[in-house]
Amino acid sequence: MQFYLAGQTTFGNRGCEALVRGTATMIRRRAPDAQIICPLDDVSVEGRQWSEAPQYGVRYVASPRFPTSRLRWWARATRVLPLEGLGLPPFSPDSSTAASLQKSSALIMTGGDILTLDYGVMSLYQWCRFNENAMDMGVPAVLWAASVGPFSARPGVEKVMAAHLRKYAAITVRETVSFNYLRSIGVDQVELVADPAFHLGPEAFDTTALTLGDSRPLLGFNVSPLIRKFRSGEGSAEAMDKEIVGFLRKLVQDTNLGVVLIPHVGPLDGGDWNSDWHYMKRLHDQMPDCQDRVVLAPATLNAGQLKYLIGQCRYFIGARTHSTIAALSQGVPTISIAYSIKAKGINQDLFGHLRYVLETPKVSELSLTSALHQLQNEEEEMRSVLADRLPEWRDRATKSVDALLRVARSGGVR
């Protein structure tokens, strides 16, 4: 059997890499001969992030080539025409991608939260059309451990998406909120699972320089440039930066903790677009007097190495969803800085409440200090809950494989 990973184009986001690694690990345990086609924007560079991929049946190929000019015209049309009537943008896959799809037993739509409004309607509809192209070729599609919607803020989009989602041979989602939402819009072939990254294995390496020689307990800390977008105006965004630096300074002054700043997203060519490392480097540079206690991890670590480093931390506070999954899946008490349904849904399902979620617009020196105190005060309770729930969640994650194999062996018939 061969499976094509749609919604996946880069390992610059280590969460995407974690999804691919976890997915491949789970599939090969159940289907040892399965082959997995993994698209990448730059195979020669990004493929080095996981050089062991062939051992898991993973073959890297070039990412699909989308007709950008046609999509641009279509996006302009959406501003004046009703989305229900306009539908999905018309295009066909490039010849190389089409050849990979035709040889596949099923398409796996991964990418986590691509089928939401978080990245705009054009991105959403582009991937929907790509997946429907595969369906039109007779390749069944499985939506894989996703966060979906909500689309209710755009009724036209919601109508199009409900019709689109009913075409999938199987749908698995990683939070109850997505499950309930899909049922509410008439999408019934949906099953609640857990994120594949709960099966990502940590990759050991020498962390001595990053863990302060193991001389003190560590707080792992991840913030991203995305959080600045929740403050209007550059002045307000800079104020948020000062609040974060103030928190780190206070932590150094008032506790015996060390801090390791852990980037989880950033281009592999060293660019600064959407780069956690470049953002946290600017913060780190603002506190030269604290750098014996606050260390910045390199931008070159892969998803497995980042998980290993996070596992060395006593506590973790993170903005990137998969950085928090790397912590939670190892039993590390964690606060999630949340801007979408992803972190909220995972926390609600895992803990039964949102007390360990910090809303992104509320990030400040005071709120971060309060979050750290909460981790310290409730450490044993959190560790106990995680120890109890994690085996169940790892089992739940494998239900996506059950759904995939049912589809592949039945030819996509529901």
Q: What is the mean pLDDT of residues 21-50?
A: 95
Q: Are 71 and 126 in contact (CB under 8 A)?
A: yes
Residues 212, 213, 216, 217: is their CA dihedral positive or negative? positive
Q: How far apart are CA 171 and CA 404, in angstroms?
A: 9
CA neighbor of 7 nearest in space, from 149, 132, 109, 120 = 109
Other CB atoms closer than 10 Å to residue 405's CB: what's the count? 18
pLDDT above 90 as % of the chain: 78
According to DSSP, the residues that pair with 93 across neighbouring strands are none
- The per-residue pLDDT for 235 is 67
Q: How far apart are CA 323 and CA 345, in angstroms?
A: 15
DSSP-derived 3-state class of residue 311: helix
Tell me: pLDDT of 206 over 60: yes
Q: Indicate the pLDDT class of residue 84, thresholds 50, 70 and 90.
A: low
> Looking at per-residue confidence, does 118 or 266 come out higher?
266
Size of the chain, expressed as the number of residues it contains: 414
> In sequence order, which ranges of 11-67 are alpha helices (DSSP H)?
14-30, 43-46
Other CB atoms closer than 10 Å to residue 50's CB: what's the count? 22
Q: How far apart are CA 414 and CA 399, in angstroms?
A: 16
Using a 10 angstrom Cβ sphere, with 0-12 exposed, 13-18 middle and 19 or more buried, the burial of residue 365 is middle
DSSP-derived 3-state class of residue 112: coil
User: Would you kindly state where each structural domain of the chain is located, as residue ranges?
Assistant: 2-200+395-410, 212-332+334-377
The torsion angle over the Cα atoms of residues 185, 188, 189 and 194, rounded to 10 degrees, is: 70
The pTM score is 0.93
49-53, 54-58, 78-82, 222-226: which has the minimum mean pLDDT? 78-82
Superfamily of domain 212-332+334-377: Glycogen Phosphorylase B; (3.40.50.2000)
User: Is residue 45 left, alpha or beta, with left meaning phi > 0 and alpha meaning psi from -120 to 50?
Assistant: alpha
- The per-residue pLDDT for 148 is 94
Cα distances (Å, whole numbers) of residue 372 to 320, 335, 345, 357: 17, 8, 21, 12
- The per-residue pLDDT for 413 is 46
Query: Is it true that domain 2-200+395-410 has CATH number 3.40.50.11720?
Result: yes
Q: What is the mean pLDDT of residues 236-247?
A: 91
- The per-residue pLDDT for 69 is 78
Query: pLDDT, tens digit, for every residue of 120-171?
Result: 888 899 999 999 999 999 999 999 999 998 999 888 889 999 999 999 999 9
Angle CA(384)–CA(390)–CA(394) in degrees, nearest 5? Answer: 175
Mean pLDDT, the chain, as a whole number? 92
The dihedrals phi and psi of 39, each to the nearest 5 degrees, come to: -75, 140
Q: Indicate the pLDDT class of residue 230, thresholds 50, 70 and 90.
A: confident
Query: pLDDT, tens digit, for every residue of 342-384?
Result: 788 999 999 999 999 999 889 999 999 999 999 999 999 999 9
- The per-residue pLDDT for 73 is 77
Cα distances (Å, whole numbers) of residue 118 to 133, 256, 404: 23, 39, 26
